Amino acid sequence: MTQDELKQQVAKSALEYIKGLSIIGVGTGSTVNFFIDMLADYKADIEGAVSSSDATSELLKKIGIPVLELNDVGDIEVYVDGADEVDPRKKLIKGGGGALTREKIIAAASKKFVCIVDSSKCVDVLGKFPLPVEVIPMSRSYVAREMVKLGGQPVWRENYITDNGCEILDVHNLEITNPMELERTINDVTGVLTVGLFSHRAADVVLVGNGDKVDVM
């Protein structure tokens, strides 16, 4: 199977988790885009979705699913989203698509976070994928220096502004052996809006598309 076929396979398996739900949370990225395509057949059941990005909102609206404000819906039963890396404890790196802040908010407000990935995203130790850190623009250089102190090599995602009007540093060369501590440490750096480590709020279920079958972690 190609990587896109694996993404389609795992996206399809997530439909099982939203059966009977009227409001769901929807993440961002190419794997989730396949899931959104498949939602077109489910729209009769779905009253609306809370979206993690402007790009996802547009796709949802295109297939006729109303986009709801998180402030208006309370806790969400199930949030479906992809990831850039997944470790065996279901801790994640996210934010390759730049939507990490809203993704983290929706994950926090959801009872169940169902993460959908193809098998290439599974690692033993997080950090090969550069860790995205969303920063308030005026703090970018300061935060970058702090990331160097932590042993990382920050690279400014140039010409990229997030949906929140902020900027992103992609921090390379971190071997994240203690994701809980690193998430806390980076959160504490002044100017950081969000770090794309999902360790304190990890996924509840990870579905991994392998080709032959979908593994459930």
Place of tokens 């990490």: 100
Identify any residues that bridge with 66 across adjacent strands, giving them in sequence order. Answer: none
Site for ligand 5RP in 140-199 (CB under 6 A): none
Q: Please tell me the distance from the alpha carbon of residue 46 to that of residue 28, in angstroms, as a whole number.
A: 18
| Smaller CB separation from ligand 5RP, 99 or 206 | 99
Cα–Cα distance list, 95 to 12, 102, 198 (Å) = 22, 10, 10
Q: State the minimum distance, in angstroms, from the CB of residue 163 to ligand 5RP.
A: 10
Q: Which of 8, 9, 13, 28 binds ligand 5RP (CB under 6 A)?
A: 28
Q: State the minimum distance, in angstroms, from the CB of residue 122 to ligand 5RP.
A: 13
Number of residues that bind ligand 5RP (CB under 6 A): 17
Site for ligand 5RP in 70-129 (CB under 6 A): 81-84, 94-100, 103
Strands 131-135 and 110-118: unpaired
Q: Please tell me the distance from the alpha carbon of residue 55 to that of residue 67, in angstroms, as a whole number.
A: 12
How far is CA 153 from its chain centroid?
A: 22
| Smaller CB separation from ligand 5RP, 94 or 157 | 94
**31 binds ligand 5RP, rule: CB under 6 A:** yes
**Whether 103 is catalytic:** yes
| Smaller CB separation from ligand 5RP, 132 or 154 | 132
- Tell me if 48 sits within 8 A of 23, measured CB to CB: yes
| Smaller CB separation from ligand 5RP, 22 or 82 | 82
Please compute, for residue 123, the number of CA atoms within 13 A of its CA located in the half-sphere on the CB side: 16
Q: State the minimum distance, in angstroms, from the CB of residue 53 to ligand 5RP.
A: 7
Q: State the minimum distance, in angstroms, from the CB of residue 149 to ligand 5RP.
A: 25
| Smaller CB separation from ligand 5RP, 108 or 142 | 108
Q: Which of 25, 27, 152, 154 binds ligand 5RP (CB under 6 A)?
A: 27
Q: Please tell me the distance from the alpha carbon of residue 183 to that of residue 191, in angstroms, as a whole number.
A: 14
Helix residue spans in 21-84 (DSSP H): 30-39, 54-62, 70-73
- Tell me if 33 sits within 8 A of 39, measured CB to CB: no
Active-site pick, 16, 69, 77, 103: 103
Question: Which residues form the interface with ligand 5RP (CB under 6 A)?
Answer: 27-31, 81-84, 94-100, 103
Active site residues: 103
